[in-house]
Amino acid sequence: MEVILAKTAGFCFGVKRAVEKVYEQAGKKNVYTFGPIIHNEEVVRDLEEKGVRVINDVAELDGLPKGIIIIRSHGVARDVYDAINEKGFEIIDATCPFVLKIHKIVDEQSKAGASIIVIGNEHHPEVEGIVGWSNSRTYIIDSVEKAEEFCAENNEKLCVVSQTTFNYKKFEELVEIISKKGYNIDIRNTICNATEERQTEARAIASGADAMIVIGGRSSSNTRKLYEICQSECENTYYIQTLRDLDLYKFNSEGCIGITAGASTPNNIIEEVYSNVRAKF
């Protein structure tokens, strides 16, 4: 039995940076994160045990003891920054630099008169944050149906950006549909390199594997996309959060098992799964 662990599995630069910032503050008085710092239940639970409280809405700050609020890697809308400052909290910004770049593009392009198209999942916090930096008409497109139905106004300038963790092939497909409509369009591929590399490697491993294991939190958008990519190449693909979710008896003792993990999956969880799979076979 061969077990292949993806080289790109686990924390990306932005997530690692954000998590480290929170752990640096953990243990201090009145430390909060605006939303779960990353989409991984194990990490969030560990931080809660260390006294870090998750705040999901600006309204929750009313009446809370003043302290430090850490903006998660997904970023937030401009008005969230303003509201936190107005309420007297200190901000530590752990927004991924790649996401901050999108905020800048959207801010500048919308002020220049362009309408914004965000290719991404409408209810994902990163997309909600991106939309919050637009000063003009904004569209969110995440499916072929929405791309085909999209209709801009006459002479409307368009600027396209993407959620950093969106499926790269799907982004290309949706952009091609919109581009064929003949609009005045400026396309910015803002999917981060780490996401493209992770998805490409996962697809390659899954295409030659007899079984594939994808590790990550259930609420992790990028892990869900990895799972979909792997499942399209390998029917026996399993989505787990930790080793507890894995039934090793499902696997044969021959062939190849591939393992990858989302950008918010800690290395210790990946190593535990990898070590146990190898030990089993």
263 token code pair: 């950008």
- Per the annotation, the verdict on 272 as an active-site residue is no
- Residue holding tokens 């039934």? 247
Q: What is d(CA 213, CA 263) in angstroms, rounded to the nearest whole number?
A: 15
Q: Which of 2, 24, 126, 153 does the annotation list as catalytic?
A: 126
Strand order across the beta sheet in which 31-34 lies: 52-55, 31-34, 68-71, 90-93
Amino acid identity, position 23: Y
Q: What is d(CA 61, CA 93) in angstroms, rounded to the nearest whole number?
A: 17
Q: What is d(CA 211, CA 234) in angstroms, rounded to the nearest whole number?
A: 7
DSSP state of 235: S
Q: What is d(CA 185, CA 187) in angstroms, rounded to the nearest whole number?
A: 6
**88 CB-near residues (< 8 Å, 6+ apart):** 66
- Please identify every residue annotated as catalytic: 126
